[in-house]
């Protein structure tokens, strides 16, 4: 099964062109949708999740027309939105069981089995009797995944999942998604580059409503090889470097400012080569150094 998105566009009544001819092919596995705040990620995710309408374009999941056959999509979709309300006084087990009833699992025995399996899969079984109000951020996110997995979805959409998680919770959450992503389409929408580096076989960068680039993270980063250079400079030199060079990033490092610049060849002898990473690729793309909207290659 594959999700094919073709020329999806959306303009909000207020005037923001949130999506502009977005086309993407999303295969089974973890897919990272990376972009800064306001890029259009949530608009795209909510449209695929049948929660809002596009102005034009198509999306097809297997043989389902996503924008028209909404009930069919909802039967095979799990959605973990950026913010979701939980009843703080209810136990994890009771609420998941309630959601299972809403999903149509009527037999009490079957519901009990499904709820237990999901609580075990998300490592929450030992906390099943605890009220959701007492859960940590990571536990809440894992509960969100448990509810998204009800009814054996073929597509899971996870919007900005790791913001606010501590490093240990983040790793645990990533491991859970990796296992799920072995068999179904998991779209992970995020502005955190390392979420994608660690997890995703395929990705796209979206910026100002357009797909700038799509592909395999390591192959994309390899395209930057030999074109990223670093130099340690004084902080008050940053502006003048920004004017003279294509500045990918600047970072304070041991009291000095380390800049990464994009350049097809060594700018001068004072710059050293850098083995580029996805963060370099992301900023070089967002800043228009390597892909402009006109030249975006989309598989």
Q: Which residues bind ligand ADP (CB under 6 A)?
A: 12, 14, 16, 18, 35, 37-43
CB of 89 to ligand ADP, least distance (A): 31
Residue pair 153/78 in contact (Cβ under 8 Å)? The answer is yes
CB of 119 to ligand ADP, least distance (A): 30
CB of 43 to ligand ADP, least distance (A): 3
40 or 217: CB nearest ligand ADP: 40
CB of 16 to ligand ADP, least distance (A): 4
From the list 221, 228, 205, 232, the residue with the least C-alpha distance to 292 is: 205
CA distance 117 to 207: 39
Residue 89 tokens, joined: 């006084």
11 or 103: CB nearest ligand ADP: 11
42 or 197: CB nearest ligand ADP: 42
Residue pair 228/262 in contact (Cβ under 8 Å)? The answer is yes
**Tokens 């990376």 correspond to what residue?**
34
CA distance 275 to 228: 7
Residues constituting the chain: 299
CA distance 257 to 261: 13
CB of 103 to ligand ADP, least distance (A): 26
The partner residues of 214 in beta bridges, in order of sequence, read 204
15 or 104: CB nearest ligand ADP: 15
149 or 211: CB nearest ligand ADP: 211
């Amino acid at each position: 099964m594959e999700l094919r998105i073709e020329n999806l566009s959306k303009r909000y009544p207020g005037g923001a062109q949130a999506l502009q001819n977005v086309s993407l092919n999303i295969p089974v596995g973890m897919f990272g949708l990376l972009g800064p705040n306001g890029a259009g990620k949530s608009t795209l995710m909510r449209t695929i999740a049948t929660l809002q309408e596009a102005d034009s374009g198509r999306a097809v999941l297997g043989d389902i027309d996503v924008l028209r056959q909404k009930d069919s999509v909802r039967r095979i979709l799990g959605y973990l939105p950026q913010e979701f309300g939980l009843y703080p006084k209810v136990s994890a087990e009771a609420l998941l069981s309630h959601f299972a009833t809403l999903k149509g699992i009527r037999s009490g025995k079957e519901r009990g089995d499904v709820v237990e399996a999901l609580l075990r899969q998300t490592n929450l079984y030992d906390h099943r009797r605890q009220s959701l109000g007492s859960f940590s951020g990571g536990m809440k996110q894992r509960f969100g995944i448990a509810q998204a997995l009800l009814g054996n979805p073929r597509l899971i959409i996870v919007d900005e999942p790791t913001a606010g998680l501590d490093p240990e919770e983040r790793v645990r959450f990533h491991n859970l998604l990796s296992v799920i992503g072995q068999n179904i389409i998991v779209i992970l929408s995020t502005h955190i580059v390392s979420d994608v580096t660690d997890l995703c076989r395929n990705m796209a960068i979206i910026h100002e409503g357009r797909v700038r680039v799509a592909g395999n993270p390591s192959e994309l980063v390899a395209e930057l090889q030999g074109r990223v250079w670093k130099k340690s400079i004084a902080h008050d030199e940053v502006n003048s470097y920004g004017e003279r060079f294509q500045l990918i990033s600047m970072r304070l490092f041991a009291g000095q400012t380390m800049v990464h610049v994009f350049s097809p060849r060594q700018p001068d002898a004072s710059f050293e080569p850098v083995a580029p990473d996805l963060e370099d690729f992301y900023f070089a793309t967002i800043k228009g150094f390597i892909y402009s909207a006109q030249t975006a290659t989309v598989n």
